[in-house]
Amino acid sequence: MKARVLSGIQPTGSPHIGNYLGALKNWAKIQYDYESIYCIVDLHAITQYQAPAELRSRIVELAGMLLAIGIDPKHSTLVVQSSIPEHAELAWMLTCVTPVGWLERMTQYKAKIEALASAASETSIGDGMLQYPVLMAADILLYQAGIVPVGDDQRQHLELARDIAQRFNSLYGQELFVMPETHLPTVGARIMGLDDPKIKMSKSTAGSGHAVSLLDPPATIRKKIMRATTDSNPAVDFATMGSGVKNLLAIHQAFTGWDDAAMKTHFEGMRYGDLKKTVAESVVAAIEPIQQRYAEITADPGYIARVLQEGAERVTPLARDTVEKVKRCMGLYSR
Ligand code: AQP
């Protein structure tokens, strides 16, 4: 029996090279060693307002992109979170065993409310922002996933999922939930914004020079990378380089797989203009085959819907089984 892996991505914008290098590339790699469930987490996306028509098309675009980067529906299950009502159902049951103090301590929640408060906008903070980690715990525990590959920013939420599972098990006196492991040994690169290398590249961050989308045409990729923020040095100096140059080198290394020695030999002393040209070409070369597959996949109008339907059918029995067990355990009514 292969161990079960669960991972998710939000349809909050066009997937970018940070998503690819930090997560998606690894998803495609590990799908042969694990029983993998990859979830487009649209219920998480709506913790912040999403324009409905845009969200609907982004879900399909993201599914197409996951197939294009190599997720193989014969080996992995691709599913949209909101198509399985048990995610939300289990989330409610888990909400009821989660102390609110645990949620208020989450650093991502604290950072988000601080950011919203300092933006002095009229936007109120939705309860979903606080409850988000419980929904994430439900995603994991619903499928009894043993392994959840996450970046550093999600590690605290995964610990919380373990705490919630433990609390449920001890409250109801049953070992109902499998304890998820916090990570896989392979960790992807963390890619920073091209316009501001102090913040991570994000789908929802505004600015045309911030992220390279996996769907950007080659000319756009070249333009964005040529405009990337560097520092006041004229050329690469590994001893003193700033975070912008480090980020460009990290992108190149992650796409090409060059080792540290090869990177130093090739780039030390290279002028920034040439560095950017080299990085842009390595990104274009890596992304072009993905874009070709994406074009093929989307040329068949029914294909993505069929994959998502099959995915939903495959995981539904698992989800129903967990929810039934939880209901019985809690004393809820079952037909
Ligand atoms: N810049 C990044 N570098 C490396 N990995 C990244 N990931 C996201 N940004 C980077 C990884 O991509 C996976 C899916 O991410 P997500 O959509 O679930 O959430 P996120 O981390 O919030 O992604 P974004 O792009 O920053 O989206 P928004 O703008 O909606 O917040 C995760 O495994 C994540 O670590």
pLDDT digits (tens, 9 = 90+) for 229-265: 999 999 999 999 999 999 999 999 999 999 999 999 9
- Residue 264 φ/ψ, nearest 5 degrees: -65, -45
Catalytic residue check, 223 = no
Mutate-to-test residue for ligand 1 from 5, 7, 10, highest number of ligand atoms within 8 A of CB: 10
- Apex CA 189: angle with CA 188 and CA 193, to 5°? 140
Residue 182 has pLDDT above 70, yes or no: no
DSSP string for residues in 311-327: HHHHHHHHHHHHHHHHH
Looking at the DSSP bridge assignments, the partners of residue 271 are 235
Residue 295 has pLDDT above 90, yes or no: yes
Give the DSSP H/E element, type plus range, for residue 6. strand 4-9
Other CB atoms within a 10 A radius of the CB of residue 102 amount to 15
Choose the catalytic residue: 25, 29, 200, 224.
200
DSSP code of residue 3:
P
Mean pLDDT of the 116-121 span: 70
pLDDT band at 216 (very low <50, low <70, confident <90, very high): very high
Give pLDDT, residue 21: 93
58 Cβ closer than 6 Å to some ligand 1 atom:
no
Mean pLDDT of the 65-89 span: 98
- Range from 20-34, 93-107, 152-166, 173-187 carrying the lowest mean pLDDT: 173-187
Centre of ligand 1 from the C-alpha of residue 202, in Å = 6
Task: For residue 150, give the ligand 1 atom closest to its CA.
Answer: 33
Residue 214 has pLDDT above 60, yes or no: yes
- Residue 35 φ/ψ, nearest 5 degrees: -85, 105
Task: For residue 192, give the ligand 1 atom closest to its CA.
Answer: 1
Reduced to 3 states (helix: H, G, I; strand: E, B; else coil), residue 126 is coil
Mutate-to-test residue for ligand 1 from 5, 10, 19, highest number of ligand atoms within 8 A of CB: 19
Give pLDDT, residue 185: 47
Give pLDDT, residue 183: 62
Task: Check: CB of residue 38 under 8 Å from CB of residue 27.
Answer: yes
CA 148 to chain centre: 11
Mean pLDDT of the 220-237 span: 96
- Range from 2-6, 72-76, 114-118, 156-160 carrying the lowest mean pLDDT: 114-118
Catalytic residue check, 29 = no
Residues 6+ apart with CB under 8 A from 257: none
Catalytic residue check, 203 = yes
What distance in Å separates the CA atoms of residue 251 and residue 65, rounded to the nearest whole number?
A: 19
Task: For residue 44, give the ligand 1 atom closest to its CA.
Answer: 18
12 Cβ closer than 6 Å to some ligand 1 atom:
yes
Q: Return the residue whose CA atom lies nearest to atom 32 of ligand 1.
A: 23
Runs of H (alpha helix) within the chain: 17-19, 25-30, 42-45, 52-68, 86-95, 100-104, 107-118, 127-142, 152-172, 218-226, 243-256, 260-267, 272-299, 303-330
Task: Check: CB of residue 21 under 8 Å from CB of residue 255.
Answer: yes
The phi-psi region of residue 190 (left if phi > 0; otherwise alpha if psi is between -120 and 50; otherwise beta) is beta
- Going by C-alpha positions, the residue among 24, 14, 89, 11 that lies closest to residue 56 is 11
